[in-house]
């Protein structure tokens, strides 16, 4: 048991017109700040744009989590995946609010590994001052919308600084979120927007560790 564990809340795959406002209301009522890693395909809609504006205005951090979220980038063989997934999403976010650039790769069920990035994406993140935000707790809220808080609280109790991946989409974290936050408060947790070193391999465009474990070779489109 770690005394006063630190917890960074992150919400991925939104915004969602029904769920995201409820998550924002809940966080506001408790004066908590979080990260929201959004999908370009949602930000491209009028409601998505206005939810990103609200999220930013309420003091949360908004980051890029790809446009379609269909294939982890290290497995995406399309030559224009960087432009279509990362750059297009960032352009939409820039229209709503200027903020530090942050990218969270899509892990496909939360797995960490070389499927997260590919060399052109990595180069882009470094050249454009991005922070790359990974994670160390995936309680699988999308599979278990009622039971996930117990796993998340267990991670928080055992880990000095937990970066928790939740999802502000239908059928995921919302029903358990108040219960989790109550439980974390009972553990004495401190909520922070900071990322521990192990979850931030790139900070403001500077590599902080060996990035090979998170980067696949460019897929060879001639030899699938
Ligand atoms: Zn995701």
Q: Domains in the chain, start-ordered, CATH in brackets?
A: 6-176+196-214 (3.20.20.370)
CB 13 within 8 A of CB 169: yes
Q: Would you call 12 a catalytic residue per the annotation?
A: yes
Catalytic residue of the set 42, 115, 161, 167: 167
CA of 222 to the centre of ligand 1 (A): 29
- The dihedral built from the CA positions of residue 174, 47, 27 and 90, taken in this order, carries a sign that is positive
**CA pair distance 224, 184, nearest whole angstrom:** 46
pLDDT, one tens digit per residue, over 44-103 is 999 999 999 999 999 999 999 999 999 999 999 999 999 999 999 999 999 999 999 999
pLDDT, one tens digit per residue, over 100-148 is 999 999 998 899 999 999 999 999 999 999 999 999 999 999 999 999 9
**CA pair distance 54, 19, nearest whole angstrom:** 14
Collapsing DSSP to helix, strand or coil, 106 comes out as coil
Cβ-proximal residues to 127 (8 Å cutoff; 6+ apart), any chain: 205
Q: Would you call 161 a catalytic residue per the annotation?
A: no
Tally Cβ neighbours within 10 Å of residue 134: 20
Q: Are strands 35-38 and 61-64 parallel, antiparallel or unpaired?
A: parallel
Q: Which residue has the tokens 């998550």?
A: 23
């Amino acid at each position: 048991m770690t005394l006063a564990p630190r917890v960074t809340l992150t919400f991925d795959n939104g915004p969602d017109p029904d769920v995201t406002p409820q998550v924002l209301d809940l966080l506001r009522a408790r004066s908590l700040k979080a990260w929201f890693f959004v999908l370009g395909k949602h930000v491209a809609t009028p409601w998505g744009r206005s939810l990103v504006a609200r999220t930013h205005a309420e003091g949360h951090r908004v980051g890029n989590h790809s446009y379609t979220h269909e294939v982890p980038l290290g497995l995406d063989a399309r030559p224009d995946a960087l432009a279509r997934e990362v750059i297009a999403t960032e352009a939409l976010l820039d229209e709503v609010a200027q903020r530090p650039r942050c990218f969270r790769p899509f892990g496909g069920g939360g797995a960490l590994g070389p499927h997260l990035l590919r060399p052109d994406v990595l180069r882009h993140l470094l050249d454009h001052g991005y922070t790359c935000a990974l994670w160390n707790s995936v309680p699988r809220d999308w599979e278990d919308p009622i039971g996930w808080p117990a796993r998340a609280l267990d991670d928080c109790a055992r880990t000095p600084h937990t970066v928790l991946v939740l999802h502000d989409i239908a059928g995921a974290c919302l029903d358990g979120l108040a219960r989790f936050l109550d439980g974390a408060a009972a553990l004495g947790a401190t909520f922070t927007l900071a990322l521990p070193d192990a979850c931030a391999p790139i900070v403001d465009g500077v590599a902080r560790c060996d990035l090979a474990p998170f980067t696949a070779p460019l897929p060879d489109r001639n030899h699938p």
